[in-house]
Structure 1
Amino acid sequence: KIACEVKNFNPEDFLDRKEARRMGAFTHFAIAAADQAMKDSGLKITDANADMVGTYISSGIGDFWAIEREHEKLLTQGPKKVSPFFIVSAIVNLAAGNVSIRYGAKGPNSATATACSAGAHAIGDSFRIIERGDADAMICGGTESAITPMSIAGFDSMRALSRRNDDPTRASRPFDAERDGFVIGEGAGIMILEEMEHAKARGAKIYAEIVGYGMTGDAYHVTQPDETASGAVRVMQRAIKDAGISPEKIGYINAHGTSTPYNDKFETLAIKKVFGDHAYKLAVSSTKSMIGHALGAAGGIEAVITVLALKHQMLPPTINYENPDPDCDLDYVPNKARQAKIEYALTNSFGFGGTNACLIFKRYEE
């Protein structure tokens, strides 16, 4: 019965009414976030560079609202009442497509539907696209709008959601002994990734450098990690290897930290396996404690948070951490943000189907 909604959002603050009606809510969020990111970046797309600027914006589900709304029309009013814009408002790649059209970005245009890893995969894949020279810059991240009756009913029937309906502000409590499921959220997290020399040449405001990306599959179960947490272990190891650093360089982990009994236990185990004694020296926090689990948008939102943590040398907290769990015994930055000197930070995203992504960012210093 509870969710972390984006309140007081009006798509007409970013789009005219006609455009907005032809798009799904997840696309509205993506455009709003992309507008902010593009403005902040100062990147200008022209005829001269359009082929080298791409879009990669992922979603776990697409527009669940459109699916439910148009299905109801089909059943009650017949097929002729189904909107001609239904398909192009609902499918996952239309957030990337509409952002591409909006800005005239003619480079790579893609989206992944990798559940709760989707936003992180979009950023990691964009990193690879730039590395291999197929783009100079990518508008990338994740978006989601799935707070609907059908979505909540489906997650609830799996017993994935918190049942703390009488105490919503304390329902999302990652790593706490009394956690009982996640609180569904929504929104978008978009960043502009740009080849370093290209960014420097135009005097861009650089927040951080992406230096590592890993992706793995559990090959175990559609919703649960295996008891050795091997998929999470391997994805962090791959990202660390890709970054060319030792595990001890990581100072902060923005955890997947969903507030479910399984995820938090096995993510903690994975961190201890990857980092050994250093696991007890670094900081780990779950920002889902404050904003809920935005599914396919989570990886994008959390990548932005991780970059800002590096920029400002400020660790976001895990709120509602009140009852220590013997299986979750790391430093989760409990209940209050704190300053810290960190050079490298890592963010994890794990999704249904056993799909995992890990990104590593380095603090930028001129």
Structure 2
Amino acid sequence: MRRAVVTGVGVVAPGGRNREEFWQRIVNGKPAVRPITAFDASPYRSRIAAECDFDPAEYGLTPREVRRTDRFVQFAMASATEAVNDAGLETGDEGERVGVSLGSAVGASITLEDEYVVVSDRGRRWQVDHSHAMPFLYQALVPSSAAAELAGRFGARAQATVVSTGCTSGIDSIGHALRLIQDDEADVVIAGASDAPITPITVACFDAIRATTPANDRPEEASRPFDSQRRGFVLGEGAAVLVVEELEHAAARGARVYCEIGGYAARANGYHMTGLRPDGAELGDAIGDALRQARLNPEELGYISAHGSGTVQNDRHETAAYKRALGQAAARTPISSIKSVVGHSLGAIGSIEMAACALAIERGVIPPTANLTSPDPECDLDYTPLVAREARIDHALSAGSGFGGFQSAMVFSRLREAA
């Protein structure tokens, strides 16, 4: 079977404008959460978020690109450019073997909401006036515009796809890239996910189901995965893009390899839109399947990047899934949630967490779970509280869980030849 490796990493995240700033932020366990500045959030229950300090011009985006694209597309373009440069990849001459796989949960929600305000005269008109809409409104309507922008930017002429499976979109998009490589549909796939959901409508949606935290008085301490004092997750934004490449293709051009994609599996619980079965069966099954594909025993895992959203339901469900899938090895495996630092950027977070796994393998450091000062007694695994650890990591697992019942798992491994 054709093997897929990661040869480039690009990240735009809260508190980190690029890959290195992101890595330093999560390793230091310094949360990038603050009161929302994107709009007046005073009427809302949850008024804090992990926002990106993002200037598209700094990333080489032209005024025309900025004009026609939503913030989530700009995040994707910036992180993809960093990843492609990191990989030393020249895509022009072999674009027919280069693909795009991009995940997003909510797409261009900022542009759609802003433009609705305009064409409806701030909601006063039921019959909206299209003549006041921006000329690129259709591109905001279809999430596929993000994949199209990346394909055009890098001359990728193989399959270009958008994956939208809620909060597992970031893992699933890389999983789709893996399949494209294995099926000989592409030699290189620019893969990852992006979301910019910090908008009034998104904040209102999560307020309605009380999923986000109301701990507005101390933003830096509000995201508390696996902690008994947690009160919900913190909304975030950002993107991560990886260059996923067929191993022999990467070797032929002398590319540096971060890691190999060892296994990927996804499940649906068919149970409830927002509810989770307490036994963690489906997530545990996805984890077990990913490990089998990677030909690993649970004892071989060196690190788990947890979904770790900071809700009671999810944290306990996830703990049960690890115990179910890993058995006794669950208690001995270091686990952490970087959402404690960068918040929950919905569809993007899975790719951001996979970027963290690639860097953890390369650099031998396990990022900590920030704000974990009083662990939930029912979350009794090693969730790496407060302080990073140095450790050799040959195999890292990332698990994701999304509204709608989506459950995904992916294994990154140190390249066997290098090991």
Structure 1 length-normalised TM: 0.98
Which deviates more from structure 2 when the two are superposed, residues 136-145 or residues 38-47? 38-47
Q: Give the equivalent residue in structure 1 for 2:3.
A: none
Q: CA–CA distance in 1 between the matches of 2:59 and 2:174?
A: 26
Which deviates more from structure 2 when the two are superposed, residues 4-13 or residues 187-196? 4-13
Contact 1:161 1:182 in 2 (8 A): yes
- The CA deviation at 1:74 is 1.6
Q: Give the equivalent residue in structure 1 for 2:39.
A: none
1:33 corresponds to 2:84: no
Match of residue 44, structure 1, among 59, 67, 90: 90
- The CA deviation at 1:118 is 0.5
Contact 2:235 2:343 in 1 (8 A): yes
1:5 corresponds to 2:56: no
Which whole-Å deviations, capped at 9, do the CAs of 1:54-93 have from their partners, x for residues lacking one? 0001100101111111111121172211122112034222
Question: What amino acid does structure 2 have at the position aligned with 1:17?
Answer: P
Which whole-Å deviations, capped at 9, do the CAs of 1:140-183 have from their partners, x for residues lacking one? 00000010011001111110001110010000010001111110
1:209 corresponds to 2:270: no
- The CA deviation at 1:229 is 1.2
- The CA deviation at 1:225 is 1.1
Q: CA–CA distance in 1 between the matches of 2:310 and 2:179?
A: 31
Match of residue 203, structure 2, among 149, 152, 157: 152
Number of matched pairs: 365
Contact 1:12 1:20 in 2 (8 A): no
1:227 corresponds to 2:272: no
1:305 corresponds to 2:356: yes
Q: CA–CA distance in 1 between the matches of 2:188 and 2:133?
A: 38
Question: What amino acid does structure 2 have at the position aligned with 1:24?
Answer: D
1:21 corresponds to 2:67: yes
Counterpart secondary structure, 1:142: strand
Counterpart secondary structure, 1:84: coil
Structural mapping, 1:172-321, within 5 Å: 172-321=223-372
Counterpart secondary structure, 1:358: strand
Counterpart secondary structure, 2:143: coil
Q: CA–CA distance in 1 between the matches of 2:66 and 2:283?
A: 39
Q: CA–CA distance in 2 between the matches of 1:284 and 1:155?
A: 27
Match of residue 55, structure 1, among 97, 100, 111: 100
1:132 corresponds to 2:183: yes
Which whole-Å deviations, capped at 9, do the CAs of 1:22-52 have from their partners, x for residues lacking one? 01110000000000000000111123x1111
Question: What amino acid does structure 1 have at the position aligned with 2:336?
Answer: S
Contact 1:58 1:92 in 2 (8 A): no
Q: Give the equivalent residue in structure 1 for 2:111.
A: 66
- The CA deviation at 1:238 is 1.1
Which whole-Å deviations, capped at 9, do the CAs of 1:283-339 have from their partners, x for residues lacking one? 010000000001000011000001111111100000000112111011111101110
Q: Cα RMSD over matched residues?
A: 1.1
Q: CA–CA distance in 2 between the matches of 1:90 and 1:3?
A: 25
- The CA deviation at 1:14 is 2.1
Question: What amino acid does structure 2 have at the position aligned with 1:343?
Answer: D
- The CA deviation at 1:8 is 4.0
Structure 1 unaligned regions, length at least 5:
none
Match of residue 401, structure 2, among 350, 355, 358: 350
- The CA deviation at 1:11 is 4.4
Q: CA–CA distance in 1 between the matches of 2:215 and 2:379?
A: 21
- The CA deviation at 1:12 is 6.0
Structure 2 unaligned regions, length at least 5:
1-46, 122-127
1:75 corresponds to 2:120: yes
